[in-house]
Amino acid sequence: MKYKRILLKLSGEALMGERQYGIDPVRLAEYAEEIKKIHDKGVEIAIVIGGGNIFRGVAGASNGMDRVQGDYMGMLATVINGMALQGALEDKGMLTRLQTALKIEAIAEPYIKRRAVRHLEKGRIVIFGAGTGNPYFTTDTAAVLRGVEIHADVILKGTRVDGVYDSDPEKNASALKFDSISFEDVLKKGLNVMDTTAFTLSQENKLPIVIFDMNKEGNLLKICEGENIGTEVNI
């Protein structure tokens, strides 16, 4: 396998499937099956999942809610998604641990870096919930931060599109897809890969990012086996 330890970043919206909000159990089961394929190959897996299918702090703030309060609500939404994914993974026979940046000891361990690494070494899948535990930071930033802390080989960002394009492929049929691109070129071209804080943190720590279509069966396994799927952002 090309990667020994990965940090998989999933958006909350991805869990909606065909629904308008919430969690689609069919999509959840599909993701669990895709994750099982690489788990069975011995890849150490950590996961960060967003909460946009339940609540977005930014959206709450635009409706007059206090931004900090809204962001904490968003963090709790990521914990709900983490619990749902944990259940789906365990249904497939995998051992998991949910760790959260906010203390919710009845349902999850508090995030402790050394403990997380030990779980990974033992073959358990670790799901990180509640973002960084701080308002004003996205789950993209949380994903890169945790990836750096646990010494992941790569950030795999599963989205609905199959990579990075020079313009929006849903609006421009002739948009050009990049197979690989440097951090510097992403910034020069003003491409939207991750929010600026997450992207800069990844660049400074030389942690590559692969953006790929998580909804296409087998893509996750192919990436871990070294196939050129999606777009790799690297030094």
Alpha-carbon span 54 to 16, nearest angstrom: 9
Residue numbers belonging to the annotated binding site for UMP = 51, 71, 132-139
Residue numbers belonging to the annotated binding site = 9-12, 51-52, 56, 71, 132-139, 159, 165, 168
Widest distance between CA atoms in the chain: 51
Position of tokens 């619990």? 83
Residue numbers belonging to the annotated binding site for ATP = 9-12, 52, 56, 159, 165, 168
Alpha-carbon span 31 to 33, nearest angstrom: 5
